Structure 1
């Protein structure tokens, strides 16, 4: 009887997983399939119909445009912001998780509270500040907001991750003559790699797809990132849906490759610390 219940439960879970796969995969399939269709083919065939042939002109048109410039801007902004986030979060999470000082909990409470601040509330102040420091309409204008708004959750996650690292490792290092700095760089930081990998993928996806700050803080094509390239192509080609789908496919491809490479570290980072003892 128990085995029968387990079998029914597994079947039910499998059905739900399959249904979720169809729901989540349908938009992706539509995007890729439409990208290989001609301009009016999508209007004369079914929405989810396979393309009649492999039509690469949509991708060629996107690549010949300023797409490469948008791609380089996004790559630079995400890379620099990601390094700043990970280094700062690593340095902040260490004292929060390992030291007990007077303002530990109040300061950590401020970090947690900062996670609740909506980014759209800060658009006008950040826009004014960017103009005053003469960074408006440059890719450097995006690095500050991207770092600031992704830092609180990064510190929170990394602090929880570091708190699960056994303190006996630090005690052994101290007996061997390691100071706090050597312990941090040679023990805590290497053991935090799964958590850092999780944060890297999570933050990279968020910043890669960010639209609001990119729209407000940049104006010319030389400073815009990939999300705005989609917006530009939509205005330029109007209802040329296959062209727009080609842009979306090329924009999503780097994050898909990054996730495929780092998915094992992402899962390890998410599961690390979930079981105590």
Structure 2
């Protein structure tokens, strides 16, 4: 009597949806796998940035006599502040004050005017006048500063403002408004309309709604555009070069250029002036870093 062995039944053919979890697991494993190539590239980029900064800082503390006799990348054996003293005695504080006046005098009015203009454009409905104003601001983004430097120079001459700080502030405000209006308008447009309607039902005017509702909700965007415009004005070179002539009205970028020409051989002194010029920018970034990152993150997620 023969015994028959029962073989296991073959597995059923997988249906269309039977293999779906496998790609999910593969994606999860690949997401957890470290990206070594990106890490190496990040460290290389960090070295590219850090090495020149390190060289500038340590060289600014070296004496001029020992700069050419020592290793450029070696820290100074006898650090000295003579280079910084030379830069400060050459009128750095006056140039720093001029840059602060122009930066604050440009950034504050430009951001406030741009915020009110953006609020009017977004909340003003479909009025023809506001559409024309918005189109003018958009056209301003397509006009570079270099293309208008001669007309700006002629206007400043006609207004008898040449060789003054106001000659730098007014054009800087005009060139800062278009981009600021565009950015702030996008942020105000994303504020829920229900909030505006509820404030109108409570009896708030458009002026009160703008400052009590739109202004606090767009604070990250305001800080972002303020820092961006402040850095742009702080590093401006063309307008001070064309619209000013007196040495006492120089701003830091222009003073740094003339200082480099005056002390070309004294490389440690030149780099000390570079460090002093960069410190205010670094301090501004440290103060507004959190608001700046939140504003940029909000802008990218819109």
Q: What TM-score range do you get, normalising by the shorter chain?
A: over 0.9
Of residues 231-240 and 193-202 in structure 1, the stretch that sits farther from structure 2 once superposed is 231-240
Aligned to 1:233: 259
Tell me, in whole angstroms, the C-alpha distance in 2 between the residues paired with 1:235 and 1:44.
23
Q: Deviations over 1:228-247 (max 9, x none)?
A: 11012112212211101000
State the shift of 1:273 in Å: 4.6
Cα distance in 2 for partners of 1:37, 1:60 equals 13
- Give the Cα separation in 1 of the matches to 2:180 and 2:201: 31
Pick aligned residue for 1:123 from 135, 143, 149: 149
Q: What's 1:101 paired with?
A: 126
Q: Is it true that 1:162 corresponds to 2:188 in the alignment?
A: yes
| Structure 1 residue 166: Cα displacement | 1.3
Retained in 2: the 8 A contact 1:35–1:58? Answer: yes
The Cα of 1:106 is off from its aligned counterpart by 4.3
Aligned-residue offset at 1:45: 2.8
Distance 1:123 1:239 in 2: 33
Q: Which residue of structure 2 aligns with residue 44 of structure 1?
A: 69
What is the aligned counterpart of 2:211 among 180, 185, 199? 185
Name 1:205's counterpart in structure 2. 231
Question: Residues 102 and 168 of structure 2 are in contact (CA less than 8 Å); yes or no, is this contact kept in structure 1?
Answer: yes
The SS at the match of 2:285 is helix
Matched, 1:259 2:285: yes
Structure 2 vs 1, CA of residues 53 and 2 (structure 1 numbering), >3 Å: closer, same or farther? Answer: farther
| Contact residue 110 and residue 177 of structure 2 kept, 8 A | yes
Conserved 8 A contact 1:230-1:247: yes
Q: Please give the secondary structure, in 2, of the residue aligned with 1:53.
A: coil
The 2-side partners of 1:197 and 1:45 are apart by: 44
Q: 2:264–2:270: 8 Å Cα contact kept in structure 1?
A: no
> Aligned pair 1:21/2:46, yes or no?
yes
SS at match of 2:64: coil
Query: Which structure would you say has the larger RCO, counting Cα contacts within 8 Å and 6 or more residues apart?
Result: 1
Q: 1:180 to 1:78 in 2, by over 3 A?
A: same
CA contact (8 A) 1:139 1:224 kept: no
TM-score using structure 1 length: 0.93
In structure 1, what is the equivalent of residue 89 of structure 2?
A: 64
Q: 1:226 to 1:167 in 2, by over 3 A?
A: same
TM-score (norm 2): 0.86
* CA deviation string 1:173-208 (max 9, x = no partner): 011111111111111112121111001111111110
Cα-to-partner distance string for 1:2-42 (whole Å, 9 max, x where unaligned): 45533545433322322222222222222212111111433
Q: Deviations over 1:207-253 (max 9, x none)?
A: 10110111111111111101111012112212211101000100100
- Whether the 8 Å contact between 2:61 and 2:83 is mirrored in structure 1 is yes
Of 152-161 and 125-134, the range deviating more from structure 2:
125-134
In the alignment, the residues of structure 2 paired with residue 100 and residue 271 of structure 1 have an alpha-carbon distance, to the nearest angstrom, of 28
Gaps of 5+ in 2: 1-25
Q: Which runs of 5+ in 1 are unaligned?
A: none
* Distance in 2 between residues matched to 1:226 and 1:127, nearest whole Å: 21
